[in-house]
Amino acid sequence: MKAQWYAKKWITILVHIVLWLLLFSLPFLLRSPYDNNAAHKEPAHHPGYLYHYFFSCIIWITVFYLNAYLFIPGYINKRKYRLYALTQLILLLVVLFLDWLSFKLFIPEAKFIVQNFFIFNTFPYLFIMASSTAYQMFLYRIELERTAKEKETENLKTELSFLRSQVSPHFMFNVLNNMVALARKKSDVLEPSLIKLSSLLRYMLYETDEEKVSLAKEIDYLQSYIDLQQQRFGKNILINVGIQPVDTSYEIEPMLLIPFVENAFKHGVGLIEEAQIDIELTVKHSVLQFFVRNRYSNEITEIRDKTSGIGLNNVKRRLNLLYGNQYSLLINKKEGWFTVSLQIKLH
């Protein structure tokens, strides 16, 4: 999956550099230009004090990333709180030693006072610790969301693979049996039926490997499926199909629409009187409008094919993951009709 621009490593590094430069430039940016008294001017412009300040900046940056990438994952995330507290104490002593060393190297004439170290560095230390902890928690949250998204994506791939291999096995068997009957009758319908079945299987096995397919191909697949079902049931069911031509530039996730059609044939035929299935598909202003309805009967106990498709509940979840708020799905069961109305904002 292609990373967003803000998730690229070089962008992250650049943002960190800019934020550190801004943070450590604040003392210079906030210094009053009118503060030119001699008593204050000399230390501020002494090269040793500047070197000491830059060395302290490097120490704070090091402390930030040590806490974020080493101590929190190694101790806090593993609930080793005592070791973490001991590590913080040791780290504070190391910072104290480095600050003393910086004084000796850059401003040897100045007297190092331990009390002053704690007075001037306690707040920066706590600020760095809090910032690095918040930063690590932010990274941890992002990692959790990324892992969850990957799992959902893998589940979608698994479900799609399952759907490709399990789309109504009974439908396949019945179609093949119907073709055997056509072959015995030496019917002229046999050849176009075989071509439709071949195109249907080819789409299921090969075309759906991509994340998206042409909407026109998805419609061809639906039409082949419907034609074979029409041939299978003949006059026992009334099938009304209104599929309008669509722009070939539109794309859609493969086999996203077939569960609704398959569900209609699964529950809308058999012992149902005046069986009827209506299917409509149009695209207006980049919005796919898909409508499927079928008659049903609560009095008929159906033998459900548990291997047939992935189920409408999983289709809803797939739509949520793929389109978020860019789709609407209405399912109604009223007055002997089971109706599905789907709208998708196409890309």
What φ, ψ does residue 323 adopt, rounded to 5°? -120, -15
Report the pLDDT value the prediction gives residue 197, as an integer from 0 to 100: 83
Report the pLDDT value the prediction gives residue 269, as an integer from 0 to 100: 81
Euclidean distance between CA atoms 257 and 290, whole angstroms: 8
- The full length of the chain comes to 347
> By C-alpha distance, which of 220, 174, 214 is closest to 200?
220
Euclidean distance between CA atoms 65 and 129, whole angstroms: 10
Positions of the chain with pLDDT lower than 50, given as ranges? 1-3, 37-42, 44, 301-309
> By C-alpha distance, which of 102, 138, 145, 142 is closest to 120?
102
Cβ-count burial 166-175 (b if 16+ within 10 Å, e if not): ebbeebeeeb
Domains annotated on the chain, with CATH? 32-151 (no CATH), 167-345 (3.30.565.10)
> For the residues of 290-316, what is the DSSP string, one character each?
EEEEEE--TTS-----TTSSS-HHHHH
Report the pLDDT value the prediction gives residue 211, as an integer from 0 to 100: 76
Q: Which residues does 98 contact at the CB level (< 8 Å), separation at least 6? A: 55, 59
Residue 178 · residue 231 · CB < 8 Å: yes
Report the pLDDT value the prediction gives residue 307, as an integer from 0 to 100: 40
Report the pLDDT value the prediction gives residue 66, as an integer from 0 to 100: 92
The reply to whether the predicted model has a pTM over 0.75 is no
Six-digit token pair at 200? 């249907």
> By C-alpha distance, which of 133, 118, 232, 239 is closest to 182?
232
